[in-house]
Structure 1
Amino acid sequence: MLVGALTRQAQAAGGFAAVLAKGDATAGAVLVILAERGQKSSVLERLLQPEGRYLWQDIGQSAQDEAQLNALIERRRKYDPDLWVVELDIPNGERFAAEMNSMT
């Protein structure tokens, strides 16, 4: 459901989304790779905060190094096969990332 909402939100903002890896339909964690005009900029993960709310946070992984990004995804999916990986190519990715927190 969350991946579908992100996809629709990206399309409504003039971008597009690609699901790179499907996870569990109801309980999978989600990584989002943000890009603008094909240039990947950051990797976000939806993390549970101490107060019980989920927030999207940049995990500090460079999205521009394709080999490192693929290695990260492979490691994470090995540990968590329910992980969803979604790439959003969206204008003004930083603003979109901030708005993602209001959707959760």
Structure 2
Amino acid sequence: MTDGRLTSAMLAGALIRRTQGAGGFAMVLVKGDPISGVILVQALEKGEEIGLFERVSDYAGGYRLTACGPAADSEPGAMTAYIERRRRSDPDLWVIELDIVDAERFAAETIC
């Protein structure tokens, strides 16, 4: 970590602590590379899937969350199958589940 960026492990830990501190539920579903693994956030609200979001570079020195994978209302198991495919192509991938009101905004404020 020579360029001063926060590691994926630090960002994951901060997101989990902040979510739990705000009364939500958060957990690491898949632990990836601690330094530079891509972070996927599986967003839920009161147990209902909202969507899957990926932390990506905005090419201006920052990051943003982008929706990825199947829609939340797609067939059962579609989200799990998508995550499994992504893990096969990127074993360094992190998957973090958040269950909190406005999970996408909450995650963006914390890790972007």
TM-score, length-normalised on structure 1? 0.86
Alpha carbons of structure 1 residues 98 and 78: separation in structure 2 relative to 1, 3 Å: closer
Asked if residue 51 in structure 1 is aligned to residue 56 in structure 2, the reply is no
Is the contact between residue 55 and residue 65 of structure 2 (CA under 8 Å) also seen in structure 1?
Answer: yes
Is the contact between residue 15 and residue 107 of structure 2 (CA under 8 Å) also seen in structure 1?
Answer: no
Identical amino acids, percent of aligned pairs: 49
SS of the residue corresponding to residue 23 of structure 1 reads coil
Question: How many equivalent residue pairs?
Answer: 102
Give 2:22's aligned residue.
13
Give 1:31's aligned residue.
40
Instruction: Structure 1 unaligned segments of length 5 or more: list them.
Output: none
Alpha carbons of structure 1 residues 48 and 75: separation in structure 2 relative to 1, 3 Å: same
Which structure has the larger Rg over C-alpha atoms? Answer: 2
Letter of the aligned partner of 2:96 in structure 1? V
Letter of the aligned partner of 2:19 in structure 1? A
Structure 1 runs, 4 residues or longer, greater than 4 Å off:
none
Letter of the aligned partner of 1:67 in structure 2? G
Letter of the aligned partner of 2:39 in structure 1? V
- 1:54-65 correspondence runs (5 A): 54-59=63-68, 61-65=70-74
Residues 18-38 of structure 1, C-alpha deviations (whole Å, 9 max, x = no match): 211110111111100110111
Task: Give the aligned CA root-mean-square deviation in angstroms.
Answer: 1.7
Q: Distance in 1 between matches of 2:12 and 2:72?
A: 19
Alpha carbons of structure 1 residues 80 and 95: separation in structure 2 relative to 1, 3 Å: closer
Residue 64 of structure 1, CA deviation: 4.3
Q: Distance in 1 between matches of 2:27 and 2:49?
A: 13
Instruction: Structure 2 unaligned segments of length 5 or more: list them.
Output: 1-9
Is the contact between residue 39 and residue 96 of structure 2 (CA under 8 Å) also seen in structure 1?
Answer: yes
